[in-house]
């Protein structure tokens, strides 16, 4: 079974600061990797995903993530955050190849951006 670890549970930044949220997974096989965001009072939305190919993936709202296979990591980055980025961020994985598979989520990072 897969597991996901997010290192930062609470992060507070000022507007225009750079962001990096850590995510490591544990699984011996091929994985699909995702970052989802949950804005206050809203549903989970996909920020970006990695299935294969270029390990640097770009998502919505200026977010990007890099898959480093040797480190089992998929860290999320944004060069300059905005107040509207305040939200809960979840890293998630599933294992392709065996049919429909649910997502395993990390515990989440609560990000607060101060104006």
Q: Which of residues 60-89 bind other proteins (CB under 8 A)?
A: none
Residues 69 and 52 sit within 8 Å (Cβ to Cβ): no
> Residue 58, interface with other proteins (CB under 8 A)?
no
Sole binder of other proteins in the list 40, 53, 99, 115 (CB under 8 A): 99
Sole binder of other proteins in the list 28, 54, 100, 115 (CB under 8 A): 100
Strands 23-26 vs 32-38: parallel, antiparallel or unpaired: unpaired
- Among residues 8 and 32, whose Cβ is nearest to other proteins? 32
- Among residues 28 and 97, whose Cβ is nearest to other proteins? 97
DSSP-derived secondary structure letter, 100: S
Distance, CA of 84 to CA of 61 (rounded, Å): 10
Compose the 14-53 pattern: x for residues touching other proteins by CB under 8 A, - for all others.
Answer: ------------------x-x-x-----xxxxx--x-x--
Other beta carbons less than 10 A from residue 69's beta carbon: 9
Per CB under 8 A, residues contacting other proteins are: 32, 34, 36, 42-46, 49, 51, 90, 94, 96-97, 99-108, 110
């Amino acid at each position: 079974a897969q597991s996901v670890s997010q290192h930062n549970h609470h992060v507070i930044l000022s507007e225009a600061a750079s962001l990096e949220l850590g995510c490591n997974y544990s699984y011996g096989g091929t994985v699909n990797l995702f970052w989802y965001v949950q804005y206050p009072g809203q549903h989970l939305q996909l920020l970006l995903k990695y299935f294969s190919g270029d390990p640097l993936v770009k998502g919505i709202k200026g977010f990007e993530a890099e898959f480093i296979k040797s480190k089992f990591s998929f860290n999320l980055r944004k060069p300059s955050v905005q107040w509207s980025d305040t939200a809960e961020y979840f890293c998630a994985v599933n294992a392709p190849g065996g049919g429909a598979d649910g997502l395993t989520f990390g515990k989440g990072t609560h990000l607060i951006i101060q104006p």
